[in-house]
Amino acid sequence: MNPSTGEKGRAFEGKVVIVTGAASGIGMATAKLFAAEGASVVAEDINPKVAEVFEGDPRIVPFIGDVATESAAKEVVALAIERFGKLDILVNNAASIVYKNAVDMTLDEWNSILNISATGLFLHSREALKAMIPNKTGAIVNVGSYACFFTFPGISAYPAAKGALAQITRTLALEVIEHGIRINAVGSGDVVTNLLNTFRSDGREFLAEHGKLAPIKRAAEPVEIANVVAFLASDKASFIVGAIVMADGGMSVVIQ
């Protein structure tokens, strides 16, 4: 029951959730959705603005950290347990992208993309599982992309990272299902977010336009992907294990 409104029956009442990449876009929408459904949320981002985004929300505790580091993974899980007593759900959402042909890409740029979407995902999953396994319950949802399976020129590091995300999802799912923990991923299509804003001023507009290539003829809003994340984390998805659930407007099923 929500102590402020007396509301019953919210899907994640009493659950404790960590969401990475939560300062904007899909991560912010996901954190807010879980909180609205009764969860206590730790919202992680390297951007200090994450503290401003959730200021005054009694259900969301911001955490500023670099998702690609082992220290952040350990500290954010410790924070969830310290503040709320347990961890039920992890959403690995943080991501980055560089639009460059491989011959023009630096090693630092390559490593940055892989460190966030692959290494950071592994580290956060590992630490979360240490907290979940003793309780014999939990869920991890990784936010992937149609780039888990498909690609186009100029983004080699991104599909490499998202392909790794898909395989980490499948492998860890098999390792921990015996403990009552389900791991799945969302294969997101184009979403109107700030993903491209680090290198182009029209990033949101570009994503909105690129989304028109999908059969649905538009990009998604962040909450549409957040809804799929929440479903996969919920008991309604109790028989879904190791899946990459495509939510891409049909982009992955059409020949361009």
Pairwise CA distance, residues 17 & 41, whole Å: 5
Pairwise CA distance, residues 196 & 24, whole Å: 12
Catalytic, 146? Answer no
Q: What strands lie across the sheet with 40-45, from one edge to the other?
A: 60-64, 40-45, 16-20, 89-92, 138-143, 181-188, 244-247
Residue ranges of alpha helices (H) inside the chain are 25-36, 49-53, 70-84, 107-114, 120-132, 157-176, 203-210, 222-233
Q: In residues, how long is the chain?
A: 256
Which member of 12, 34, 54, 158 is catalytic?
Answer: 158
Buried-state track 158-175, b at ≥16 Cβ within 10 A, e below 16: bbbbbbbbbebbbebbee
Structure tokens at 222: 């962040």
Strands 60-64, 40-45: parallel, antiparallel or unpaired by DSSP? parallel
| 3-state DSSP percent of the chain in helix, strand and coil, to 5 | 45, 15, 35
The helix or strand, by DSSP H or E, that contains position 20, with its residue range, turns out to be strand 16-20
Query: Is the Cβ–Cβ distance between 129 and 172 less than 8 Å?
Result: yes
Q: Give me the DSSP letters along 244-256.
A: EEEESTTGGGS--
Q: Which residues are catalytic?
A: 158
